[in-house]
Amino acid sequence: MESAKGGPRVPLRDRARYRFDRTLARSPGTLMGWLVITCLAVVVPVSLLLVWTDPGSPTSLSGRLIATWRISAETLRLGAATGTPLRLVLSAVLGLVALLCVSTLVGVVTTGLAERLAELSRGRSTVLERGHVLVLGWSDQVTTVVGELAAAQAPRRRRTIVLLADRDKAGMEEALTARAGPAARARIICRSGPAGDPDVLARVSPRSASTVVVLPSAEPTADAEVLRILLALRAVLGEDTEGPPVLAVVRDERYGAPARLAAGPQGTVLEADTVTARLIAQCVGRPGFSLVLRDLLDFAGDEFHLADATAFHHGSFGPALLGHPDSCVVGLLTPEGRTLLNPPADTVVLPGSRLIVLARDDDSTRVEDCRHLVDASAIAAARPEPAGPSRLLLLGWNRRAPLVLEQLRSTARPGSVVDVVADSAVPGPREPEGGEPEGGEPAGPDVRFRSAPLSRPGTLLGLDLDLYDGVVVLGPDRGDGPGHPDDWTLVTLLAVRLLEQRTGRETRVVTELVDDRNRPLAPVNSGSDVIVSGMLVGLLMAQIAQNRHLAPVFEELFSAEGNDVCLRPAGAYIHPGAEATFAAVVAAARDRGECAIGYRRHDVARTGSGDHGIRLNPPKGERRVWYAEDQVVVIAREHHHLPSIAAGPDGSATAAPAS
């Protein structure tokens, strides 16, 4: 049906609804008027019906009207006064005023409560905590850092972790709670806002925090954002020299020096790319190194602590190595605050010094002489042969690849060769720095570059891995192409695995992954290592945040100079087939200027078990039969990490073929 003007006729119900909506949109007074009319239109007729159907109601008209008024007034809370019309009007006015005031008060309270709840849900409220760990920023490492700090044993009270990042509060809480778990001994508080804004930063009480951790985001400008946060933190703290220690992470080493200046004298700055490159280079010649490192860094097992050294004051460091039955001594913290890792056995333990030990927790270290557990007849005198030249294949290229080559250059034996095969052109070929020393051997590995389409499976399957002692696989950086960077890495590992099946020869593979969830998917053999760069950096940060005195310990362990974590043949310490305690291993390592901290069983290393045969900090009295294939984990000085291989007739290696 159409209207007189030719358009379609609008139903009456739709026209009434439109007019009603238009009336409500005018003002709140209009809405109140409609509410009054609606209430009266319902209450008054119903009240009349109740009075006229009640057998006990008055018989006169005036009496029934008064009864109707009383019921309506009580229903609408307008008062129930009776009498002259003036009294009825005044009663109704008072009731309306009371109703308006109460309704307004309820509305104000409800609105204010709703706004407050909305503000709390946005994470904009002030945090009044003391002694909390303050984490600023959001990155791939945040769940690892917060999860490990929540798992760490907090002394005397429940730990509080406060996180400030420019993200949704509910999303942050969900991610962190899932990582820490419901049983974590920590209270996690999330606040939303830019950590580089001093006004926002002041709301999370950085001055009263025990430690401040600054994380880089995943953006290209992450390092500049870290510097901004450090400057904002400095603005909030002022020139307070008693402020909390600061731990910050930058990705590019060029931002390291400015970040240290901004962090202040109590600041520690980690260069994530450099740390990752060092770990990859150290894993090349040490099967199982990544497993040892993960066990050392997480709080699920044994980790480094500081222990009292009073029982050894004025004595030498050597006896302390056999002075703790349930912990491994690895160094000293001097009264001046200097960290000595694996010092000489005759180093004097001065009053005020503290021992650096590998233990379950701070309370598990106890002093007891374990020299009676050492069987001198089981100790071997042989020393491991030094490694010779080696050949290494590096597949892929990312921003950490130059740092990896730099680390390999400083740790490789003379005459070694590193072939680099990448999709795109890379800097090279490049001659070793420092030229040719006397004797004609290069000072570092001969690095050779080659471009090949590695994204094609045929190229990978055409590689000749028999030429190499090990393979390093580096995935692309985030944003360098479609998909996740670990996808290319997993495809490359599948190709390497297929080549191993064809030749029947296992190849040492060191792989870098970005996401820890992909680690179980990596198709590698038991003699290979998988480095999850973000997780290991996060674990390292959690360790230093727990105890900043340990920063020099990890700095030395991850550097090319000084002491390293090494896995060496057990036959170099205990006669193969002999039964001896771990105390005998510690004594044998001490005589060589090393600190033994554990071992790896050869019969479990290839079973795929959870620990892969790694056992750190065993009791000194643990007795077992030691085999030549077992390995002892020691902290020692070692400068050449690449595995040994006999050089070819001409002392060189052919670059990997490209197809």
* CATH number of the domain enclosing 225: 3.40.50.720
Q: Which residue has tokens 């998988």?
A: 530
Are residues 252 and 131 part of one domain? yes
Residue 79's pLDDT band, with cuts at 50, 70 and 90, is: low
Residue 594's pLDDT band, with cuts at 50, 70 and 90, is: very high
Q: Let me know: does 500 contact 465? Beta carbons within 8 Å.
A: yes
Are residues 162 and 61 part of one domain? no
Q: What is the pLDDT of residue 180?
A: 62
Q: Which residues pair with 536 in a beta bridge?
A: none
| pLDDT winner (highest mean) among 11-25, 115-129, 146-160, 280-294 | 280-294
Are residues 129 and 42 part of one domain? no
Q: Is residue 337 part of a domain?
A: no
- Residue 634 to residue 134: CA distance in whole angstroms: 35
Are residues 80 and 139 part of one domain? no
Domain boundary among 242, 265, 288: 265
Does residue 550 carry a pLDDT above 70?
A: yes
Question: What would the mean pLDDT of 600-628 be, rounded to a whole number?
Answer: 81
Phi-psi region at 306: left, alpha or beta (left = phi > 0; alpha = psi -120 to 50)? beta
Question: What would the mean pLDDT of 258-277 be, rounded to a whole number?
Answer: 88
Question: What would the mean pLDDT of 336-346 be, rounded to a whole number?
Answer: 90
Residue from 44, 636, 657 nearest 344 by CA: 636
Q: What is the pLDDT of residue 115?
A: 73
Q: What is the pLDDT of residue 91?
A: 63
- Residue 268 to residue 256: CA distance in whole angstroms: 10
> What Å distances lie between residue 404 and 277, 300, 400, 407, CA to CA?
5, 29, 6, 5
Q: What is the pLDDT of residue 92?
A: 66
Are residues 238 and 167 part of one domain? yes
Q: What is the pLDDT of residue 450?
A: 86
Q: What is the pLDDT of residue 123?
A: 67
Does residue 94 carry a pLDDT above 70?
A: no
Lowest mean pLDDT among 340-349, 379-388, 568-577: 379-388
Residue 441's pLDDT band, with cuts at 50, 70 and 90, is: very low
Higher pLDDT, 122 or 399: 399
Q: What is the pLDDT of residue 135?
A: 93
What is the DSSP-derived secondary structure letter of residue 522? Answer: -
- Residue 98 to residue 74: CA distance in whole angstroms: 13
- Residue 10 to residue 1: CA distance in whole angstroms: 9
Are residues 254 and 133 part of one domain? yes
- Residue 25 to residue 31: CA distance in whole angstroms: 8
Q: What is the pLDDT of residue 184?
A: 58
Residue 608's pLDDT band, with cuts at 50, 70 and 90, is: low
Are residues 91 and 145 part of one domain? no
Side-by-side strand order, sheet with 470-473: 446-451, 417-422, 391-395, 470-473, 508-513, 529-532
Q: Which residues pair with 566 in a beta bridge?
A: 634
Are residues 179 and 139 part of one domain? yes
Q: What is the pLDDT of residue 539?
A: 87
Q: Is residue 512 part of a domain?
A: no
Q: What is the pLDDT of residue 68?
A: 75
Question: What would the mean pLDDT of 643-656 be, rounded to a whole number?
Answer: 32
Q: What is the pLDDT of residue 574?
A: 93
Domain boundary among 248, 265, 282: 265
Q: What is the pLDDT of residue 560?
A: 67
Q: What is the pLDDT of residue 88?
A: 62
Q: What is the pLDDT of residue 438?
A: 45
Does residue 276 carry a pLDDT above 70?
A: yes
The tokens of 659 are what? 């197809």
Does residue 21 carry a pLDDT above 60?
A: yes
Does residue 434 carry a pLDDT above 50?
A: no
- Residue 193 to residue 232: CA distance in whole angstroms: 13
How distant is the alpha carbon of residue 148 from its chain centre? 8
Q: Percent of the chain scored above 90 by pLDDT?
A: 21
Q: What is the pLDDT of residue 422?
A: 87
Residue from 29, 31, 28, 9 nearest 20 by CA: 31
- Give, in degrees to the nearest 5, the angle at Cα 83 between 77 and 87: 60
The tokens of 298 are what? 């997480």
Q: Is residue 345 part of a domain?
A: no
- Residue 242 to residue 189: CA distance in whole angstroms: 24
Does residue 607 carry a pLDDT above 50?
A: yes
SS (H, E, C) 359-401: ECCHHHCCCCCCHHHCCHHHECCCCCCCCCCCEEEEECCCCCH
* H or E element that contains 218: none
Residue from 355, 349, 338 nearest 555 by CA: 338
Q: Is residue 118 part of a domain?
A: no
Are residues 67 and 161 part of one domain? no
Q: Let me know: does 524 contact 506? Beta carbons within 8 Å.
A: no
Does residue 482 carry a pLDDT above 70?
A: no
Cβ neighbours for 197, distance < 8 A, ≥ 6 positions apart: 232
Q: Let me know: does 141 contact 535? Beta carbons within 8 Å.
A: yes
Lowest mean pLDDT among 171-185, 278-292, 421-435, 570-584: 421-435
Does residue 654 carry a pLDDT above 50?
A: no
Q: Is residue 276 part of a domain?
A: no
How distant is the alpha carbon of residue 121 from its chain centre? 24
- Residue 473: Cβ-neighbour burial (10 angstroms; 0-12, 13-18, 19+): buried
- Residue 619 to residue 639: CA distance in whole angstroms: 30
Q: What is the pLDDT of residue 618?
A: 93
3-class DSSP state of 308: strand
Strands 508-513 and 529-532: parallel
Domain boundary among 265, 291, 317: 265
Domain of 133 in residue numbering reads as: 123-265
Q: Let me know: does 497 contact 526? Beta carbons within 8 Å.
A: no
Q: What is the pLDDT of residue 658?
A: 33
Strands 391-395 and 417-422: parallel
- Number of domains into which the chain is organized: 2
Are residues 151 and 254 part of one domain? yes
pLDDT (tens digit, 9 = 90+) per residue, 153-164?
A: 555 567 888 999
Residue from 494, 478, 484 nearest 395 by CA: 494
Are residues 127 and 85 part of one domain? no
Q: How many residues does the chain have?
A: 659
Q: What is the pLDDT of residue 303?
A: 87
DSSP string computed for 63-93: HHHHHHHHHHHHHHTS----SSHHHHHHHHH
Q: Is residue 52 part of a domain?
A: yes
Residue 430's pLDDT band, with cuts at 50, 70 and 90, is: very low
Q: Which residues pair with 133 in a beta bridge?
A: 161, 211
- Residue 457 to residue 102: CA distance in whole angstroms: 76
Q: Is residue 514 part of a domain?
A: no
3-42 burial code (b ≥16 CB/10 A, e <16) = eeeeeeeeeeeeeeeeeeeeeeeeeeeeeeeeeeeeeeee
Q: What is the pLDDT of residue 614?
A: 87
Residue 641's pLDDT band, with cuts at 50, 70 and 90, is: very low
- Give, in degrees to the nearest 5, the angle at Cα 388 between 382 and 390: 140
Side-by-side strand order, sheet with 328-333: 303-308, 354-359, 328-333, 339-341
Residue 656's pLDDT band, with cuts at 50, 70 and 90, is: very low
pTM: 0.72
Q: What is the pLDDT of residue 598?
A: 93
Q: What is the pLDDT of residue 83?
A: 60
Q: Which residue has tokens 């105890």?
A: 547
Alpha helices in 397-465, H assignment, sequence order: 401-411, 457-461
Lowest mean pLDDT among 288-302, 419-433, 474-488, 519-533: 419-433
Q: Is residue 19 part of a domain?
A: no
Residue 624's pLDDT band, with cuts at 50, 70 and 90, is: very high
Are residues 253 and 161 part of one domain? yes
The tokens of 600 are what? 């790896």
Q: What's the mean per-residue pLDDT of the chain?
A: 79
Question: What would the mean pLDDT of 500-525 be, rounded to a whole number?
Answer: 84
